[in-house]
Amino acid sequence: MRDRYLMCSPEHFEVRYVINPWMQGNVALSRNDLAWRQWHGLAEAIGAVAEVERIAGEPGVPDMVFTANAGLVLGNTFVLSHFRHAERQPEEAHFEKWFRQQGFQVQRLAPQLAFEGAGDALLDRGQALLWLGHGHRSSAECAPALASLLDIEVEPLRLVDARFYHLDTCLCPLEGGYLLYYPAAFDADSQARIVARVPAARRIAVTDADALEFACNAVNSGHHVFLNRASDELARSLAAHGFTLHQTPLGEFMKAGGSAKCLTLKLNELRRPAARAAA
Ligand code: ARG
């Protein structure tokens, strides 16, 4: 089965306010024509190996292009986001409508919890586990709430660098149980829990330079990995682990603090069988 991704066309994309450090100094400086070209470049690259579904952008919500933040998909359930910042909250109704129309069962967490969907909640690709980033956007209490709502084990990770404010800016589970990540974005305890959960041979730690090019903000479909830019060293490491790398420039979206992964939301997320408890 081919993977399916949701992308939102960038007709209303711009940097209009500042809610993360990348947007600082970039208000009104993004170029919509170049953003379109970059967005099409990504959509076409992914479209060569997977299905890309589109939702139209809406006026007044320039960050709606970042569909990763719409919510979290697991099977036929869609857990709708509730954005921390007022600027993005109007996106919720647009995404809710689309997911209902597509036949998803739409759920919400308790209204006092901020939750930014698959920007902060990432399913591992080697074990039945949901990684949850908190500290900037999603509330830490989303971890127990998602565990009971979805009946899945959740590993909360505390994010400590404002430039890596969503989990998907600094961690990307890859097929085969690999984990691409930037250790310095996490507190020491979270780094230790990542090490405890993922064997050394499956961890691919990136350098500061790759992290700042949003290399961890990658889309992974089968053995294909799509991202903005990777150093030669990272490209060699991904190839050595069996991945085919596609670099596609996304500089206009980086002015808003987003890149390849943020611009997509995987729609076919199947539940992975939990490891059988030892008898
Ligand atoms: N400007 C957006 C924000 O600050 C960017 C979101 C990027 N999305 C992501 N999944 N990391 O919310």
To the nearest 10°, report the CA torsion of 90, 96, 99, 101: -110
Q: Which of 166, 172, 216, 224 is catalytic?
A: 166
pLDDT > 60? residue 276: no
Domain ranges of the chain: 4-266
The model carries a pTM of 0.96
Into which CATH architecture does domain 4-266 fall?
5-stranded Propeller (3.75)
Query: What's the rounded Cα separation, in Å, for the pair 211 and 179?
Result: 14
Token pair of 183, please? 């250790």
> What's residue 1's pLDDT?
82
Residue type, 201: A
Q: Whose CA is nearest to atom 6 of ligand 1?
A: 258
Percent of the chain residues topping a pLDDT of 70: 98
Indicate if 166 belongs to the active site. yes
To the nearest 10°, report the CA torsion of 154, 125, 53, 65: 60
Q: Pocket around ligand 1: residues whose beta carbon is below 6 Å from it?
A: 19-20, 23, 63, 66, 68-69, 88, 119, 166, 168-169, 256-258, 262
Which of 19, 26, 63 should be mutated for ligand 1, with most atoms under 8 A from CB?
63
For the chain, the distance separating the N- and C-terminal CA atoms, rounded to the nearest angstrom, is: 34
> What's residue 271's pLDDT?
86
Token pair of 40, please? 């099409």
Query: What's the rounded Cα separation, in Å, for the pair 272 and 267?
Result: 15
Instruction: Please give the average per-residue pLDDT across 64-68, as a whole number.
Output: 98
4 alpha carbon to ligand 1 midpoint, in Å?
Answer: 21
Query: What's the rounded Cα separation, in Å, for the pair 20 and 164?
Result: 9
- Is residue 100 within a helix (H) or strand (E), and if so which, with residue range? helix 91-101
103 alpha carbon to ligand 1 midpoint, in Å?
Answer: 26
Q: What is the ipTM of this complex?
A: 0.97
Closest CA to 143 of 201, 214, 72, 200: 72
pLDDT > 50? residue 179: yes
To the nearest 10°, report the CA torsion of 234, 237, 243, 249: 10
Indicate if 262 belongs to the active site. yes
pLDDT > 70? residue 279: no
| pLDDT per position as a tens digit, 110-167 | 999 999 999 999 999 999 999 999 999 999 999 999 999 999 999 999 999 999 999 9
What number does the ligand 1 atom closest to the CA of 116 have? 10
112 alpha carbon to ligand 1 midpoint, in Å?
Answer: 20
Cβ proximity of 195 and 218 under 8 Å: no
136 alpha carbon to ligand 1 midpoint, in Å?
Answer: 11
- Beta-carbon contacts of 53 under 8 Å, excluding residues fewer than 6 positions away, are 4, 5, 6, 7, 267
